[in-house]
Chain A
Amino acid sequence: MIRLDPATANLAPPTVPGWALETVGVPHDADAAFRAGAALASLDSLARAQPAWAGAWRQRLALKCAAASMRLAGRAENEAALRDAWQLCPAGADPGPAGAIFGAWRQLALQPPAVSTDRLAKVTETLGLAWDDEAFADLCKEIEEVAGSPRPAPFAAAAIAAHVVAIRPEAELLAWWLADLVLAQSLRWPRSVPLLIVQAFGPAFRIEGGGGKRIRPGEKGFEHAVCLALVQAAAEACRLATELSRRSEKLLAVTPKLRAKGAGDVIFLLLNEDAVPGSLTTKNLSRFAARRLFERLQQLEAVRELSGRPTFRLFGL
């Protein structure tokens, strides 16, 4: 049975201080950087703590990022469609272009923030971009250089995004993906946290009085915008963490009441995945048992049904 780790059990997820989120007027560069620092400090403890629900938290952030990337990729899928594409895809089948992009973000959240040419090549392909392999070696070198430089993390992330867009203007998706990776590398987080792209179309990147135009990586004021975006992104991530910690506490509280033999696996998956298909079967859990278990969990209000359908249900925290 899974119990809350006593070291992290009492830890309420941190929140970004209210003064950092104030949006009155346009802050100066130094002001923006200072706020970003405050926000990242809150997020830092969360990204390192590895609470029981960290997996679900990262995967949900990855889903949000994938949904935000749809706009850049010129597709129309929303979060629910992406979740369906991923969960209903049989093993070994192609999840389609949108599902593949979700896969790339999931992969960012699952693996340590290290880069190799192989990983970059794979990610670029799943993001639906074309790139020649020679450039990956240069890009790897650039990433190491940027992450190793004494530059503060938000500026390193902005630098790598600007670098990618400078060599390939159409590869903006990869630029945002790498920005999150470099951010994690320079803050020495054990795993990346997908954050920035959600803000790409938000107020942080909007040009003041520019008629709704947004600041693209490498343009004037991009670093400033990244700092402000990080404050927003960190605040949203902390809010999500608070919500998930509350739900996971509830789930773990009802765990002793569950009598299904394979319940432990399901609880583990719920804490580590964005969604678990209702048709899940494992060695200890037949499809009938799984159905009963999810029904029971729903009765106890420990899980939510995420798809809103009566069939092909997907459960998650």
Chain B
Amino acid sequence: MSQASVRRKPNDQPALLDTELEHLPPELRWREWMGRTEAVIFAASEPVPREVLARVVGRNCNIDLIVDDIRAELAGRPYELVSVAGGWQHRTRKVFGDVIHAAFGAPAGQGTKELTQSEALVLMCIAYFQPITRGELSSFFGKEVSRDLIGVLRTQGLIASGPRSPLPGAPYTYVTTKNFLSQFGLDTLRQLPDFEALEDAGLLSKEKLLAGDTSLGFIGAQSDKSDIFSDD
């Protein structure tokens, strides 16, 4: 018995859960593991990473194969298992988006409000040009980007504050979070739409953005800024 407890220790699991399921025949064991995996993903409110799933299945169980089998089972259902932000989550299929929208009047789930057009625009701008300050955003849009708007994005966990900008007042810059990636179904920032095309066109730099056609951006702070990021 002491041996058993010693064996269990490095695994760091609650002693009550039998993960190896050695008493079951292989098919039943596989079904049980599939059930456990799906239950955990179903019960979680955010994407479940692999480490968490590894706690409920056997040591030599391939989680990818489990997920593939679950996906195959869900083939005809209105929801699916998607891999986002380094984990897995249940999501309703895209085609039912309108239906859900009609039923609730707003997108269901998580209690988050739908982003307004201006919020979405600011979020897009932060995603492509992060880290960027509110002042830089304002000078790009040609009108004040309010603190409230930034606050709305922050409370939804889509953006977080990054390094401080070396400008008078040391304003915080904003960067997107992991939650942002998960909400928009991206794995990395490179998967943002048209990222490569913008990169090839050389448009993914902040000073280009600020010095662009709009020619609104040249208040004192920005000319300092372009000195700092002089080469490109």
Q: Which residues of A contact B (CB under 8 A)?
A: 73-78, 80-81, 84-86, 88-90, 93-99, 125, 128-130, 132-134, 170, 307-309, 311-312
Contact = CB atoms under 8 A, between A and B. Distances in A.
A86 to B, nearest CB: 7
A88 B165 CA distance: 7
Contacts of A311: 166, 168
A128 B163 contact: no
Given A74-B190, A74-B204, A86-B163, A134 B62 contact: yes
B190 A80 contact: no
A80 B175 CA distance: 19
A99 B161 CA distance: 13
Given A94-B175, A96-B130, A134-B62, A78 B164 contact: no
Contacts of B62: 134
Given A75-B204, A125-B86, A93 B162 contact: yes
Contact of B228 (A80, A134, A170): A80
A134 B29 CA distance: 21
Nearest to B205: A76
Contacts of A308: 227-228
B189 interface: yes
Contacts of B187: 130
A68 B188 CA distance: 20
Given A74-B196, A94-B177, A95-B163, A132 B64 contact: yes
Contacts of A74: 190, 195-196, 199, 204
Nearest to A125: B86
B188 A85 contact: no
A128 B189 contact: yes
Given A76-B204, A88-B164, A307-B228, 13 more contacts: A74-B190, A76-B206, A77-B229, A78-B232, A81-B228, A84-B163, A85-B162, A93-B160, A128-B189, A129-B188, A132-B64, A134-B62, A309-B224
A94 B190 CA distance: 18
Contacts of A73: 190
B166 A312 contact: yes
B228 A95 contact: no
Contacts of B63: 134
B166 A88 contact: yes
A90 B164 contact: yes
A90 B173 CA distance: 11
A88 B161 CA distance: 12
B231 interface: yes
Nearest to B54: A133
Given A78-B229, A84-B166, A128-B189, A94 B204 contact: no
Contact of A130 (B51, B166, B168, B188): B188
Nearest to B159: A94
A144 to B, nearest CB: 21
Contact of B131 (A96, A170, A312): A96
6 contacts: A76-B232, A78-B229, A93-B163, A99-B131, A130-B86, A308-B228
Contacts of A96: 130-131, 162-163, 173, 175
Nearest to B196: A74
Interface string B174-213: 0101000000000111100001100100001111100000
Contacts of B95: none
Contacts of A85: 131, 162-163
A149 B229 CA distance: 44
B50 interface: yes
Contacts of B205: 76
A269 B143 CA distance: 43
B199 A89 contact: no
A130 B162 CA distance: 21
Interface string B102-133: 00000000000000000000000000001100
B6 interface: no
A171 to B, nearest CB: 10
A179 B165 CA distance: 33
- 6 A-B pairs with the lowest CB-CB distances in the bound complex, closest first: A76-B205, A130-B187, A312-B166, A89-B163, A96-B131, A74-B199
Contacts of B15: none
Given A93-B163, A94-B175, A132-B64, A80 B196 contact: no
A130 B190 CA distance: 10
B223 to A, nearest CB: 13
Contacts of B51: 133
B16 interface: no
A75 B228 CA distance: 16
Contacts of A94: 160-162, 175, 177
B17 interface: no
B46 to A, nearest CB: 16
A84 B224 CA distance: 14
